[in-house]
Amino acid sequence: MKTEVNENSHVSMNHQSKGGRSQSGLRIHNERRILSIIRKEGAISKAKISNQTGLSAQAVTVIINGLEADNLLIRKEIKKGSVGQPSVPFSLNPDGAFGIGLKIGRRNFDLTLIDFVGNVRATLHQVFDYPTVQGLLSFLEDGIKQITLNLPSEFASRVKGIGIATPYEIWGWAEEAGAPTEALNEWKEFDLANGVSKISYLPSYLCNDDTAACSAELSFGNPHGFTHFTYAFIGTFIGGGVVINNSLLTGNAGAIGSLPVPVIKPNGELATQQLIMKSSLFVLENMLNDAGYDSHQIHSSDSYWQEYLDIVDDWIEQVAEGLTYVALNSAAVFEAQAIVIDGIFPEDVRDKIVERTNNKIEASDLRGLSSLMCVNGVIGSKAQSVGSANLPLLATYFQELDL
């Protein structure tokens, strides 16, 4: 994940000398390993942590005691075994740390506060026709105060930063987004991380919006325990992420919206078209507008989707075609176990997309490919927002991503 940290940020991560990792760096590394294991397991004893890490029981005890003293861990109910001393499981303290996430979309802004285990404590949402720099700054200035209003004053120091999730080159595809080119071009000259830091005293972390959504699924979802998967988030445009060996790939990996997919022209000629033009919400908006409906309604209420069911079904069909192409390529290239689907739509629409994609996968020629499936993401439409709020927590406490 390409992440930028503003100059006021401090992330205690790479305490290394040329000769190797220092004692301070080694301690931080082991703390991160242990916190990552506890988050994955939910609750786990010191003995099991020692077995998983290879650290001595004494070393684990010292680290656990320190993390508990820092309010990052809490003791759970003692589990009594048949042999030996009862084991005390430790879990993350939800109140131990917090992250703020700012999601900048082509149709909306989201500001989200999450706790240490990913629970959403507060959120704000603003819808518009297209994003403007001034609109963002106004939204952010009032929004940070509102979402932290109910946070106890003693927890203020536990807010570890603000993650910013935004589409790559948000000024691109102006015509498809229905936005004036001059308005979107303002984003080219705007230093986003610096602009946010002038409003917030917090460190800021910047990444692609769909990469952030994938990080949320990896950190707080993935109930199947997939180690290799492609993630797709369907918003105004479609994007995604790639996870291999439980790690989210960095850079521009997962830019599935730009993937050329085969299409048949009306004259029967075979051509290619970017997935963004086939499996994105703006395509559905255009279909609704062409049919004489107000496409803005789908962003206001889930119930409106039922009114346009025939059009929505046609859209789902072509979305599933595009996702099947992504899934098969993922299985062929890096042996993906699944394609995980989430987006800004009602759950029943997501379920239909998953079902039809699975049907198309099963009907495909799978010779030479490992089995794979399409499954729904568990974070939902706020995945980009939760993922952005997760960035400060990842940077400060965990080892999945080297931010």
CATH number of the domain enclosing 272:
3.30.420.40
* The predicted structure's pLDDT at residue 84: 59
SS3 (DSSP) at 386: helix
For tokens 């299409």, name the residue: 263
Residue 25 sits in a domain whose CATH number is 1.10.10.10
Q: How many domains does the chain have?
A: 3
Instruction: Specify whether 203 is located in the same domain as 268.
Output: no
Same domain (yes/no): 336, 232: yes
- The Cα–Cα gap between 330 and 340 comes to 12
Closest C-alpha among 260, 228, 259, 237 to residue 337? 228
Domain identity same for 336 and 233: yes
Looking at the domain assignment, is residue 53 inside a domain?
A: yes
346, 299: one domain: yes
Domain C-terminal end among 44, 76, 92: 92
Query: Do residue 83 and residue 122 come from a single domain?
Result: no
Tell me, yes or no, whether 191 and 250 share the same domain. no
The verdict on 240 and 367 lying in the same domain is: yes
Whole-number pLDDT of residue 37: 92
Question: Tokens representing 331?
Answer: 């299985």
Q: Do residues 72 and 132 share a domain?
A: no
* Pairing between β-strand 159-166 and β-strand 204-208 as defined by DSSP bridges: parallel
Residue 210, domain extent:
98-214+384-397
pLDDT for 181 = 76
Final residue of a structural domain among 67, 92, 117: 92
Separation between Cα atoms, residue 184 and residue 279, nearest integer Å: 23
What is the C-alpha to C-alpha distance for residues 3 and 114, in angstroms, rounded to an integer?
Answer: 20
Each residue's pLDDT, cut to its tens digit, for the chain (403 residues) gives 333 433 333 332 222 333 344 557 888 889 999 999 999 889 999 999 999 999 999 999 999 999 999 999 999 888 665 555 668 999 999 999 999 999 988 778 999 999 999 999 999 988 888 888 889 999 998 999 999 999 999 999 999 999 998 887 777 655 555 677 777 788 888 888 888 888 888 899 888 888 899 999 998 999 999 999 999 999 888 999 999 998 888 777 888 999 999 888 888 888 889 999 999 999 999 999 999 988 877 877 677 788 888 999 999 999 999 999 999 999 999 999 999 999 999 999 999 999 999 999 999 999 999 889 999 999 998 899 999 999 999 989 986 554 4
Position 6 in a domain: no
Beta-strand ranges (E) seen in 19-70 are 20-21, 44-45
Alpha helix stretches (DSSP H) within 335-382: 347-362
**5 is a domain residue:** no
Whether 41 and 81 share a structural domain: yes
257 and 206 co-located in one domain: no
Give yes or no: residues 105 and 127 share one domain: yes
Q: Which of 31, 63, 92 is the last residue of a domain?
A: 92
In a domain, 3, yes or no: no
Answer yes or no: is 204 within a domain: yes
Q: Is residue 403 part of a domain?
A: no
Residues 154 and 383: beta-carbon distance below 8 Å: no
Whole-model pTM?
0.81
* Together in a domain, 231 and 109: no
Helices (H) and strands (E) in the chain, counts: 13, 18
Nearest Cα neighbor of 259 from 240, 245, 273 is 273
Residue 4 domain-assigned (yes or no): no
**Residue 151 resides in a domain:** yes
Residue with tokens 């927002």: 385
Beta strands 247-248 and 238-244 are: antiparallel
Q: Decide: helix, strand or coil at residue 12.
A: coil
